[in-house]
Amino acid sequence: MSHVDAFTPTFRHGSDPYHLGHGTGEARHSARGHGEGGPASKRVIVGYGFWIFLLSDIVMFSAFFAAHAVLQTATAGGPTGRELFDPTSIALETACLLVSSFTCGMSAVATGARSRLWTQVFLFVTGLLGAAFLALEAHDFAGMIAAGAGPQRSAFLSSFFALVGCHGLHVTAGLLWLGTMMAQVYVKGFRPNILRRLLCFNLFWHVLDIIWIALFTMVYLIGEGR
Amino acid sequence: MTDERQVLDEIGLDDIAPGVTEAANYSIRGAIWTYAIGFGLAVLLTVASFATVKTPLIWGPGIAVMLSVLAVAQMGVHLVFFLHMTSDPDNTNNALALAFGVLIVLLVVFGSLWIMGYLGGRLMPAGEMPQHMMQMQR
């Protein structure tokens, strides 16, 4: 989210000689908020606003995490995490998301180079990896439910399906957004508003991976040890 | 990166108006390196996490602490290398918002664990509680 990045629109020098409605650039030498140098650029403000949303989303996840942490041993005589989780599958899911975060970053680099082709290629690879993650997760869930370890079995499993399922829903929403962005880049190209949407999508996708780090550590790795 | 930014600052090239998209003033090689370094560190930390569970080298109760440290480190790596969180003045608001978010997350998670643990402990002496009730309490 630094000032000049892949999503900073590029302009011919002097295209806005009077700095109408935009910062003169003074403010970046001191903290924002003093009014010195005018308001920050739209890209910075959009990034900030979306970051606030993401943080609120993380706070919402923290409630699910807290519920799961409290209920982790409340198995009601049912199966425990150690019996249910398949470490290979979790490692594969983790790998899918981590690599997809990297390819998402590569799509941002391609956007910075204003290459439509490579942006699309890397977005597509990101989407494939995200879909692979979802397929693995759905397969795990289906196996657990078929074995009688569905969300209604115990408080532990209710909180597990709520937390992991919520993350899965976020990934699903991310995939829909990704498809939309590919279509918009194809039709509209790298206009400033499309660049801002790509910035937000990148932030969203990377934050999903950060939540997954907390998730595989707390739910699977620490949970497995119990 | 820094040099380029200074140049951009001087000529005001990144000053904003809707309009022309020209070739970006953006170091592709530097950006790829940032993501590659971040990815390498993230892979190392992830592998370390999964190895921590498998290895007999670490004392049992220490495993959770080790995993937490690795997870926090990896989140830091993602924030810096993927989300480009910096100490740049433009990032002050983002960093402050993050700090507040982290505060709330810690309050919610550890507050819940603390309160529920306290209530569980007060309800009945653990020794007298039948096994199935203990599980429900927690």
Chain B CB contacts of A210 below 8 Å? 75, 78-79
Q: How confident is the model at residue B21 (pLDDT cuts 50, 70, 90)?
A: very low
Residue A29 falls within a domain, yes or no? no
pLDDT at A81: 84
Check residues B15 and A158 and name the one with the higher pLDDT. A158
C-beta separation of A204 from A54 below 8 A? yes
pLDDT at A21: 47
H-type alpha helices, chain A: 42-71, 81-84, 87-112, 116-146, 155-188, 192-215, 223-224
In this complex, is the C-beta atom of A142 within 8 Å of any C-beta atom belonging to chain B? Answer: no
How many beta-carbon pairs under 8 angstroms link A with B?
Answer: 236
- In a domain, residue A1? The reply is no
Taking only the tens place, the pLDDT of each residue in B33-48 is: 999 999 999 999 999 9
Best mutation target among B5, B9, B15 (most A Cβ atoms within 10 Å) is: B15
Query: Hey, are the CB atoms on B16 and A62 less than 8 Å from each other?
Result: no
Distance from CA of B12 to the nearest CA of A (A): 7
- The structural domains of chain B, with segments of one domain joined by +, span 89-138
Nearest CA in chain B to A26: B9
Mean pLDDT of B128-136: 57
pLDDT band at A186 (very low <50, low <70, confident <90, very high): very high
Confidence (pLDDT) at A137: 96
User: Tokens 């295209």 sit at which residue?
Assistant: A15
pLDDT at B10 > cutoff 50: no
Residue B122 pLDDT: 78
Which of A8-17, A29-38, A117-126, B78-87 is the least confident region?
A29-38
Instruction: Please report the pLDDT score of residue A83 as a whole number.
Output: 86
Percent with pLDDT over 90 in chain A: 69
Q: Is A222 on the interface with B (CB under 8 A)?
A: yes
In a domain, A31, yes or no: no
Query: How far is residue B112's CA from residue A70's CA, in Å, rounded to a whole number?
Result: 7
* C-alpha span between A199 and A54 (Å, rounded): 13
- The sign of the CA dihedral A25, A27, A32, A38 is negative
Separation CA A144–CA A152 (nearest Å): 12
**What ipTM was predicted for this assembly?**
0.82
**B104 chain-A contacts, CB cut-off 8 A:** 59, 62
In this prediction, residue B1 carries a pLDDT of 43
Is there a contact between B138 and A52 if contact means CB atoms under 8 Å apart?
no
- Count of beta carbons in the 10 Å neighbourhood of residue B57: 7
- The token duo for B106 is 């810690």
- Quick check: A214 and B64 CB within 8 A? no
Contact residues on chain A for B90, CB-CB shorter than 8 A: 1-3, 28, 32, 40, 44
**pLDDT for A12:** 52
Higher pLDDT, A2 or A104: A104
Domain with A199 in it: what CATH number? 1.20.120.80
Interface subset of A 170-189, CB within 8 angstroms of B: 189
Contact: A55, B24; criterion CB under 8 Å: no
Distance CA B112, CA B106 (A): 10
Residue A127 has phi, psi (to 5 degrees) of -65, -45
Residue A21 lies in a domain: no
Phi, psi of B51 (to 5 degrees): -70, -35
Using an 8 Å Cβ cutoff, are A163 and A68 in contact?
A: yes
Say what the pLDDT of residue A11 is.
61
Residues 6+ apart with CB under 8 A from B128: none
Domain total in chain A: 1
Tens digit of pLDDT for each residue in A81-118?
A: 888 888 899 999 999 999 999 999 999 999 999 999 99
pLDDT at A24: 47
Backbone φ and ψ of A41, nearest 5°: -65, 160
Shortest CA distance to A19 belongs to which of A3, A33, A5, A40?
A40
pLDDT at A222: 85
Name the closest residue on chain B to residue A63, using Cα atoms: B108
Of A4, A24, A76, the CB nearest to B5: A4
CA distance B94 to A44: 10
The pLDDT of residue B62: 86
Contacts of B2 in chain A (CB under 8 A): none
- The whole-number pLDDT of residue B109 equals 95
Nearest C-alpha of chain B: how many angstroms from A196? 12
Best of A24, A45, A213, A219 to substitute, by most chain B Cβ atoms within 10 angstroms, is A213
CB contact under 8 A, A55 and B17: no
The tens digit of pLDDT for each residue in B46-104 reads 999 999 988 888 887 888 899 999 999 999 999 999 999 888 877 889 999 999 999 99
State CA B55 to chain mean position distance: 24
In a domain, A36, yes or no: no
**Predicted pLDDT of residue B43:** 97
Average pLDDT over chain A reads: 87
CB atoms within 10 A of CB A119: 25
Entry pTM: 0.81
**Segment A33-37 mean pLDDT:** 56
Tell me what pLDDT residue B25 has: 59
Of A25, A216, A218, the CB nearest to B15: A25
Range of the domain at A215: 42-224
A60 touches chain B (CB under 8 A): no
Tell me the CA end-to-end span of chain B in Å, nearest whole number: 52
User: Which of A26-35, A126-135, A215-224 ranks highest by mean pLDDT?
Assistant: A126-135
* Least confident stretch, A116-130, B13-27, B46-60, B95-109: B13-27
